[in-house]
Amino acid sequence: MSATDGPGDAPSFFEQVGGHATFDRLVRRFYEGVAADPVLKPMYPEDDMEGAIWRLTAFLEQYWGGPGTYSQQRGHPRLRMRHNPFHVNPDARDRWLGHMRVAVDDLQLPPLHEAALWDYLERAAFAMVNTFEETP
């Protein structure tokens, strides 16, 4: 069943912004920045960068009304729990947001879609902070 099966149902945000291709572009552009970031890069599995790309892409697609593949394969997202092993302080958050800002801007989405996406990403990034200590 898709988001357009019922009478009067509007396409999901996922469909409105271009589906998988858009989220794949977003996440790959984001990880280009992460790969060059001395604070964030160590938090990501160097030998499984494609896995990290898949996980973030699948999560965002599901969140925005796309396929439920993320939960089917990984269960409930439990974002705070999954990020708890990492030292996510305000500096790491701001770096993450900086790379994501470049990736979002590169999509050149219509203003309302861009604002909705950025609002979510910003709130999520702030919610992942789990320490105010400097990098160990």
- pTM across the whole model: 0.87
Q: Residues near 43 by Cβ (< 8 Å), separated by ≥ 6?
A: 86, 87, 92
With a pLDDT cut of 90, the percent of the chain lying above it is: 70
- Per residue in 56-71, pLDDT tens? 999 999 999 999 999 8
Tokens at 6, concatenated: 């019922």
Tell me how far apart the alpha carbons of residues 69 and 76 are, in angstroms, rounded to a whole number.
11
- Per residue in 83-115, pLDDT tens? 666 789 999 999 999 999 999 999 999 999 999
Amino acid at 116: A
Superfamily of domain 18-128: Globins (1.10.490.10)
